[in-house]
Structure 1
């Protein structure tokens, strides 16, 4: 979604991805709840909200009940921020009179006095600062002071009506430490945003957020990945391919290898996806790189996202086959990136791919491999949905996508870790087979939505000259099973290098 916060009159949060999810930002003059366990990034989002207001010339007020002002400013500095004069920080501390032993012997509960005194100080500070944006951190302290759910609800309602009289946009933070099941504020707040932190068995923590309520306002539902980095919170809205369309002229992308293009019925159509399947070592990456090299040669831009192989080894290995990836990268025609599945969420990965297509105008995208992408996913069903949306988005932007999948086994019956053959427009199948006492490789196209293709099986070789394909193997049967039998006059096999 692309929305103009000025046109909608929204109060931007300062977190670009979050503003996109909220369709421009927070409705001004209303009270919102931002909840999440400690460490999920609530304070960072709240500071971004106030700093964005200060940038727009709006006065802000940060009321902290659980964190000292020094801790708050230190946290801001860790992101490279300096809290400006337009953002007042009010650290609410209990009056010393309430800590006096004689005072605690009063017939009145000390919590009654503390809650009333806290509310009075909040109102006095608000009237003195007269802010347009307010952050109250956190509700757990007020909930403990109120002691009962009735008094707590009445206190929240009092705060809501007081701030509403002055047209302030209020962000209440709740760390869920006193009562995670209490939904009192959910019914009172105009909108509710929940932050979550997940701890996988291996790798860095994963964070996600969800907008569970926004009165009278459409928003992007579901969970959205986000990360806390230097400079603040970075939110990666869930990709919805149907929202992105672009016009382009479809044409066939060739590989510059006549036999491979013939096998593919003339090439692969722009704005389609191709899946390269095969066991380890069959050259799945090489087939994808052949199309990348051809695209760069035509003057187009390409992007490669590598999950499985170290870049230095990839550069050295492919250079010996005639693919100078470093030169392509240095010329600006190729973006190549090593992806660490243990440190990257699927949402952030999709965001990076989108950047290369939207900003750098890459028209050929390689994801090598889907096995590594799967490692970034908590379950297989979610992986299918992520890949579906990503492929649909890339297709609609006119980008041609190549995905590789390593199948289990070497010969015979192959098993894939995940079946996405029905998602891809073209499926290229690679196999080992035995012939004349040697292990050889065969390629076939088993699916192509966008046109006709050869139904033959061709042998191929990977050498210092790159990729080369032979004639259709018409005289053999059982090539894809790994042990073919001769059934007629066999077409000559490709010559193999002699032993030295």
Structure 2
């Protein structure tokens, strides 16, 4: 079936991402169904389909039974579009005799006359324009006029055979405002695309689509996020990591901090993922930024996606630690993006990450944090699947990924909102602990798939020069629990540097 997709000629939809899902577009000369509740973007996709044909010099026809021609053209202008001369809009309205009560028939149902008259006008307009692409909007009106499932099916079959004689590619729109359980058209058409709109308890609506049928062709199954923006609909195909494989030389990525690199067994392998885990305030972002700064110094590009912190605050805070992120951004080596979990779907977020890796060639990616990413997901299981595909994709592109997770609590038993430690190649654990009347911080590496690492626990400090790590805390027990026991003869802790 995949080979057929390469040989069958198709009409591109003009919608970013949708042709990828449809393996190239809509098969020429066939009837397709685009269904969804009002407001899901059917008209916008339909106009994009006609505009794509018009750019290729094709004649196109938009038959509207529900919207006026003025409304259609105004909707097109809202996206910055002007319908060219080779796109004709035919507004199908009831004849005046059917609207005049004095001339209405009593022996025949008015719906019989209206359906026959509507069909006649559609055929006459088609033969006059002779288009290669047709939009019929919407089937709800025809379903109401048909009044029975049998008559409705026969009417759709008549339209299908008529358009097929002329080789037209037809997109039927259905707003699902009459009988949502009626699947009559599904068995008749060549393919079905369903649009859905979800309303979360908080934040913007989420839109997704699914191709439920495509005769004789392979397509990308499952749900795909999409958004309606100025300029049309943008679809974000579901990421399948197994489809993206690249070759690259694996090498150790260092942080330029000798003690941290030693703790990591020489660094983190390129094309792997690292999870920085710890309670709030332990410096998870700082550990990731240390690798970003080292990458930029090596001449490599990096990208940071921030869910939890305002960018101005982030720039000021990190500048005080010696990381001038603004300068890195201005130099074109770093991309920093604020992500609003309430407004962005997971599919669009994955698309933005892929853009930085594919087109900007970012080799170090930071997602800060997964707590914010989780807020964009309807449930935890879906989050794990999204993260799995995204990490596998980034690994296969040779990008080194750093993810941060804020654990619940501060000292003692810590709980994570979502457990992805089994997905990450390296897990760095940060902890607070109390010693000698002060709150201190400790770091350890509890997992590394790609090589050996120290099994020690080191104290670290965050100062004006970023991170500094001490020697292993060999004379303490219970550091990871938060309240250690001193079992040594000396106090091997980091000392506060003297004031200049």
Partner residue of 2:190? 190
C-alpha spacing 1:255/1:3, structure 2 compared with 1 (3 Å) = farther
* Deviation readout 1:392-427 (Å, 9 max, x if unpaired): 000000000000000000010000000000000000
- Asked if the contact 2:146/2:152 (under 8 Å) is kept, the reply is yes
- The residue number in structure 2 matching 1:293 is 293
Contiguous gaps of at least 5 residues in structure 1:
none
Cα pair distance change 1:107/1:460, threshold 3 Å: same
**Matching residue of 1:341:** 341
C-alpha deviation, 1:3, in angstroms: 11
After TM superposition, the structure 1 = structure 2 runs for residues 267-416 of structure 1, keeping only pairs within 5 Å, are 267-416=267-416
Q: 2-side partners of 1:372 and 1:499: how far apart?
A: 38
Q: CA RMSD in A?
A: 1.5
What's the secondary structure of 1:496's corresponding residue?
A: coil
Residue of structure 2 equivalent to 1:144: 144
- Alpha-carbon distance in 2 for matches of 1:259, 1:86: 68
Could you report, residue by residue, the CA deviation over 1:73-119 in whole angstroms, capped at 9, with x for unpaired residues?
A: 00000000000111110000000011122332430111000000000
State the SS of the aligned residue for 2:10: coil
Partner of 2:107: 107
SS at 2:386 equivalent:
helix
- TM normalised by structure 2 equals 0.98
User: Contact between 2:5 and 2:217, CA under 8 Å: does it hold in 1?
Assistant: no
Residue aligning to 1:460: 460
- Give the gaps of 5 or more residues in structure 2: none
Give yes or no for the alignment of 1:244 onto 2:244.
Answer: yes
SS at match of 1:33: strand
Cross-structure match for 1:9:
9
Instruction: Decide whether the 8 Å contact of 1:139 with 1:174 is kept in 2.
Output: yes
Kept in 2, the 8 Å contact 1:4–1:24? The answer is no
SS in structure 2 of the partner of residue 480 of structure 1: coil
Once residues 9 and 460 of structure 1 are traced to their aligned partners in structure 2, the CA distance between those partners, rounded to angstroms, is 62
CA drift of 1:497 comes to: 5.4
Match of 1:124?
124
User: Against the structure 1 CA distance between its residues 6 and 130, is the aligned structure 2 distance closer, same or farther, given a 3 Å change threshold?
Assistant: farther
Task: Report the CA distance between 1:487 and its aligned residue.
Answer: 1.8
TM-score (norm 1): 0.98
User: What SS class does the counterpart of residue 432 from structure 2 fall into?
Assistant: strand
Verify the 8 A CA contact 2:5 2:218 in the aligned structure 1: no
Does the Cα contact within 8 Å between 1:394 and 1:400 map onto a contact in 2? yes
> Which position in structure 1 is the counterpart of 2:47?
47
Deviations 1:459-479 (A, max 9, x none): 000001110000000000000
CA–CA distance in structure 2, aligned partners of residues 298 and 201 of structure 1:
45
Partners of 2:365 and 2:7 in 1: CA distance = 35
Q: CA deviation at 1:206?
A: 0.2
State how far apart, in whole Å, the 1-side matches of 2:60 and 2:170 are.
Answer: 10
Stretch deviating more after TM superposition (257-266 or 5-14): 5-14
Separation in structure 2 between the aligned mates of residue 154 and residue 318 of structure 1, nearest angstrom: 68
Contact (CA 8 Å) 2:307, 2:369: kept in 1 or not? yes
SS at match of 1:154: helix
SS across alignment from 1:161? helix
CA contact (8 A) 1:3 1:20 kept: no
CA contact (8 A) 1:5 1:25 kept: no
Contact 1:34 1:42 in 2 (8 A): yes
Are the counterparts in 1 of residues 153 and 184 from structure 2 also a CA contact under 8 Å?
yes
**Equivalent residue number for residue 34 of structure 2:** 34
Q: Is the 8 A contact 1:388 1:423 kept in 2?
A: yes
The equivalent of 2:493 in structure 1 is: 493
Query: Residues 230-269 of structure 1 correspond to what in structure 2 (within 5 A)?
Result: 230-269=230-269
1:190-209 pair list within 5 angstroms? 190-209=190-209
Alpha carbons of structure 1 residues 266 and 8: separation in structure 2 relative to 1, 3 Å? farther
CA, structure 1 residues 3+20, in 2 after alignment: closer, same or farther (shift >3 Å)? Answer: farther
- Aligned 8 A contact 1:134 1:171 in 2: yes
